[in-house]
Amino acid sequence: MDSDTRYEDKWPAARATGPAAFLSRRRLALVAWLALVIVSVGGLTTFIMYTSHPAAQITETMDDVLRNHTHPSTTQSHVAAALDPFGPSSALRGGPTMSFRENLRADTKYITSWVSAGWTNDVFTYINLIYLGIITDRVPIIAEFIPSHIGGHVPPIPFGKVFDVPRLRNLLGTSVLEWRELKNPSSTFVDDIGCWNVWEAVQYREAYPRRSRSTEDLRLDISYTQAPTWIKMIPNYEHDQHVTFWSLARLAFPSTRADSLVTPLPSPKHNVSLPPDEHLLCYDYLYYVSAHQPFEMEYDYSPAWRFVGQYLHWTPELEQLTNTYVRRALGTPEDSPIPPFISIHVRHYDFEAWCRGVPIQECFAPLPVIARRVREVKDEIFLRSGRVVNHVVVTSDEVNATWWQEVAQLGWFTPDHSDTKELYGEWYPPLIDATIQSQGAGFVGTALSTMSIIAARRVEAWQNGPVRMVKWGTPDADDH
Ligand X SMILES: Nc1nc2c(ncn2[C@@H]2O[C@H](COP(=O)(O)OP(=O)(O)O)[C@@H](O)[C@H]2O)c(=O)[nH]1
The binding site for ligand NAG (CB under 6 A) comprises: 60, 64-65, 68, 70-71, 266, 271, 400, 402-403, 406
- Kindly tell me which residue out of 103, 125, 449, 463 binds ligand X, with binding defined by CB under 6 A: 449
**Minimal CB distance to ligand X: which residue?**
118
Q: Which does 252 bind (CB under 5 to 8 A by kind): ligand NAG, ligand X, Mg ion, none?
A: none
Q: Which residues have a Cβ under 8 Å from the Cβ of 224 and sit 6 or more positions away?
A: 194, 195, 196, 197, 209, 264, 265, 284
Q: How many residues bind Mg ion (CB under 5 A)?
A: 4
> Is 121 a residue that touches Mg ion (CB under 5 A)?
yes
DSSP 101-163: GGGB-TT--EEEEE--S-HHHHHHHHHHHHHHHHHHT-EEEE-PBP-TTT-TTSPPB-HHHHB
By beta-carbon proximity to ligand NAG, the closer residue of 271 and 320 is: 271
Fill in the amino acid letter for 190: V
d(CA 195, CA 113): 9
Whether 176 and 73 have beta carbons less than 8 Å apart is answered as no
- Kindly tell me which residue out of 12, 87, 118, 303 binds Mg ion, with binding defined by CB under 5 A: 118
> Is 45 a residue that touches ligand X (CB under 6 A)?
no
> Is 457 a residue that touches ligand X (CB under 6 A)?
no
Min dist. Cβ of residue 480 to ligand NAG (A)? 23
What element of type H or E holds 283? strand 280-285
Min dist. Cβ of residue 322 to ligand X (A)? 12
DSSP 17-57: T-GGGGGSHHHHHHHHHHHHHHHHHHHHHHHHHHS--PPP-
> Is 6 a residue that touches Mg ion (CB under 5 A)?
yes
Task: Find the part of the chain contacting ligand X (CB under 6 A) among 131-139, 281-289, 319-327, 446-454.
Answer: 446-454
User: Contacts with ligand X in 355-414 (CB under 6 A)?
Assistant: 395-397
Q: Measuring CA to CA, how many Å separate 274 from each of 195, 277, 298, 336?
A: 8, 8, 37, 59
Q: Which does 396 bind (CB under 5 to 8 A by kind): ligand X, ligand NAG, Mg ion, none?
A: ligand X
Task: Find the part of the chain contacting ligand X (CB under 6 A) among 105-113, 165-173, 190-198, 443-451.
Answer: 443-451
Min dist. Cβ of residue 416 to ligand X (A)? 12
